[in-house]
Structure 1
């Protein structure tokens, strides 16, 4: 899948799941998610250095990047794993999944639907997934859903930092990551203890982190540009038309 290609360069220790060989032989490993988005960030910010990319959308993931290459990522084999997302549970104790299978009479399909479509923010908020509305709702379920999302993301960022030699950048992408300043500030507030002295600096949490020397960015990604570049790298060069005249029109992909 194109969205996992970026993560094929992860070190073995980052992709290997702690399972016995016969289980891993079934293709069970950490495949990653949002590879096109992270690659877009790397392409747009070639001097990024050692950074953590936080993709917040319907599905959410956190990826550590060093020198343009992945060091760690949260998602394994489905968008429901890793950090909490709008409808996905995030990582769970395996016993929780097994008990759910028992409760649902052994139906894996029902449990998969529950974990991927009815959990996460939706599972806590009563089915609501509009984060902007949840941030302003003011009821206990909405507040708790946002708290759990922010906590999960911040904890994943903290873990990702441990895979880097130094922490130079924090990049938010995705519809929520780039589009919700309040959500970004809430995540940044949780990360202040990781930067000594940051909490005493003026401004909102993102500016406090920036004042500590961390580059904090919100970047709308261009996944189509990445797909176009990858396609051109593996595909044949465009040839002349059947009449022998070179085409004088660029492809629609090139115009995006």
Structure 2
């Protein structure tokens, strides 16, 4: 049996997991992917094998799976049963916020966990849930290698002018600065550019990670130089339930005129805004595209408008633009959104190929388009598995076959 690496991405209402087998020359082959979703409401564990076959489809009552640690425990029980009781050789975790000090994937220790907990208020939807399974494993299997892979790491080499806020320097020193997120996705796309879009690989490229959480990254020669997200995952583009760019005075207004507490404002900004707040219908772009309601149409128009305006900002940061990439759930699947964005970006040299876009082609601009646009599926899980394997190799821990040899 091959040694495996488990990849975990724990959110507020789901625990997603993937299992990768480590093959010859450290090739990684995905053997399984699944998730336990609906935590606390309608818990369901679902997983598929490498050929797409269903491996499990199990449901519980809300009381049986009330939180992320319980959900993770059930997922681990399934994984161990499916793997004949064998533990993975290592586990890689997505951790949204690494703060100013964690600039690369990091092997987990008790001290690392303590240093990551202060960032919970900066990513309340993600950080506590990212850390929950890490803590469970650290307590039960302290010698099992765990690697924290940060969404902020890819952006940590920004020029200072892109990371500072216009506030007193002591606050920047404390860590109040622009971090940027979705870095694992952007890192994967950067690695795919030479094979899929060689003509823009070394140029000025904007990658739009458009999903329930959404942001854009400006890359020059595949390195991040700016991002639409900042200190927290609230900034930049409007998202499913988050507002994106917002005048800080709105928060003061909510406190002074609406009498809202900090906790109420946090819940409001993370749960009730974005496409959900604008439409009054749904936070899901699929629902909004299918709706005939004027507010649904406006929410999508606003989403496209903000993508276009922030593209102009990032193009200015790069001194121009050579290419654009759509990725993540909306970017990869919502052809009408892609078409609407590129129509607004025609002034930058993007000539939409409507047929290619509708067909889900890799390149969706015409052959003679001055600037090229691509659709590239992201794979954060594979990126985490690679980082975890690299950490394993750096520790000089042999795989089982190597021990036998």
User: How would you bin the TM-score normalised by the shorter chain?
Assistant: 0.7 to 0.9
Distance 2:404 2:340 in 1: 52
Larger Rg: 2
Cα displacement string for residues 60-86 of structure 1 (whole angstroms, at most 9, x for unaligned residues):
101100111111101012222111111
User: Could you tell me how far 1:222 is from its partner in structure 2?
Assistant: 1.1
State the match for 2:180 in structure 1.
32
Q: After superposition, where does 1:1-256 map in structure 2 within 5 Å?
A: 1=98, 2-46=150-194, 47=198, 48-49=201-202, 50-195=204-349, 203=354, 207=364, 211-235=368-392, 236-239=395-398, 246=403
State the match for 2:104 in structure 1.
none
User: Could you tell me how far 1:138 is from its partner in structure 2?
Assistant: 1.7
Aligned 8 A contact 2:353 2:366 in 1: no
Q: Which runs of 5+ in 2 are unaligned?
A: 1-97, 99-149, 358-363
Distance 2:356 2:314 in 1: 19
TM-score norm. by structure 1 comes to 0.87
User: Could you tell me how far 1:140 is from its partner in structure 2?
Assistant: 0.9
User: Could you tell me how far 1:245 is from its partner in structure 2?
Assistant: 6.4
TM-score norm. by structure 2 comes to 0.56
Write 1 or 2 for the structure with the bigger share of strand: 2
Secondary structure, aligned partner of 1:172: strand
- Which structure has more relative contact order (CA 8 Å, sep 6+)? It is 1
Aligned 8 A contact 2:218 2:318 in 1: yes
Distance 2:247 2:333 in 1: 32
Write 1 or 2 for the structure with the bigger share of helix: 1
Aligned 8 A contact 1:188 1:205 in 2: no
CA RMSD of aligned residues (A): 2.3
Q: Which runs of 5+ in 1 are unaligned?
A: 249-256
